[in-house]
Structure 1
Amino acid sequence: MRALLQRVTEASVRVDNVIIGQTGPGLLILICAMQGDDDSAAAAMAAKIAKLRIFTDDAGKMNRSVRDIDGTALVVSQFTLAADTSRGNRPGFSQAAPPEEGNRLYQLFTEKLRAEGVACETGAFGANMQVSLVNDGPVTIWLDT
């Protein structure tokens, strides 16, 4: 799986101009299931993100996890994270998991993140979404399983 994490003070996702998911202080997680990913990849990614120390402690060092700060997450599927731009000017997305499997792994990832103790809201898989955020720091981190 591939994820782009953004530490946020707030984030929301809209479909048809209606907010369907949002978070306060915590994480915006853009997530993409890749070809060959399985349940263990979703579980590993969720465990890594729940424990990742990218929030500041009292000394101003990135030493706290989203769980440590009682933060929440907004999880948004984004197959374009699988973009291959190595040839030409039009990205290819053949490295992304097929839609049905991508949706299953997206849902499983969110369930696993909740099981790790992180409250989550989500976007809508396959929908045209508008994501708004206030990146805190800015802190943006790329993860691959």
Structure 2
Amino acid sequence: MRVVLQRVSHAAVEVDHQIVGQIEHGILALIGVSHDDTLQDAKWLAEKTTQLRIFADDQGKMNRSVLDVGGGVLVVSQFTLLGDCRKGRRPAFTAAADPAIANELYLHYADQIAATGIKVAKGIFAADMKVSLVNDGPVTMVIDRCEKTS
């Protein structure tokens, strides 16, 4: 799994000209699921998302998590994060999970975040989505599940 976390002051996702999810202060999480990912991977990433200290404390240091600041998380599925651009000019998406599996893990990731009490908003899996955001900082982190140390 790969997740791109962006600290935002506002983020929204729109499908067919309707806002289907939005948050104010918090994190926009773009998530890509690969064919060998598991529920445990989704849980690990959700825990990392909620506990990563990317918000400023009173001294201006990144020392607070989204839990600490009472922010929300907007979760958007994005299989293109797994695009392999090393060869040719067209990305290959062979690492991306089957849609049924990817949706299950995407929802599990969002559910694990919600279980902490954080407000979670979501896009619609496999829909043509328009995502808007105001990146705060900007602060952007990329986390791959392969970074785990079990």
Q: What TM-score comes out, normalization by structure 2 length? A: 0.95
Counterpart-to-counterpart distance in 1, 2:33 and 2:120 = 18
Asked if residue 99 in structure 1 is aligned to residue 99 in structure 2, the reply is yes
Q: Aligned-pair RMSD on alpha carbons?
A: 0.6
Counterpart-to-counterpart distance in 1, 2:71 and 2:134 = 15
Counterpart-to-counterpart distance in 1, 2:39 and 2:134 = 31
Report Cα offsets for 1:108-136 as digits up to 9, x if no partner: 11001111332100000000000000000
* Structure 1 equivalent of residue 23 of structure 2: 23
* Structure 2 equivalent of residue 33 of structure 1: 33
Aligned partner letter, 1:36: D
* Structure 1 equivalent of residue 47 of structure 2: 47
* Structure 2 equivalent of residue 114 of structure 1: 114
DSSP 3-state at the match of 1:67: helix
Report Cα offsets for 1:14-50 as digits up to 9, x if no partner: 0011100000000000001112100100000001111
* Structure 2 equivalent of residue 126 of structure 1: 126
Counterpart-to-counterpart distance in 1, 2:80 and 2:52 = 23
* Structure 2 equivalent of residue 61 of structure 1: 61
Aligned partner letter, 2:92: G
* Structure 2 equivalent of residue 4 of structure 1: 4
Aligned partner letter, 2:4: L
Contact 1:47 1:116 in 2 (8 A): no
Aligned partner letter, 2:80: T
Query: What percent of counterpart residues are identical?
Result: 50
Gaps of at least 5 residues in structure 1 are none
DSSP 3-state at the match of 1:80: helix
* Structure 1 equivalent of residue 82 of structure 2: 82
Report Cα offsets for 1:59-104 as digits up to 9, x if no partner: 0000000000000010000000000001100001110111110000
DSSP 3-state at the match of 1:4: strand
Number of paired residues? Answer: 145
Aligned partner letter, 2:86: S
Q: Which runs of 4 or more aligned residues in structure 1 lie more than 6 Å from their structure 2 counterparts after TM superposition?
A: none
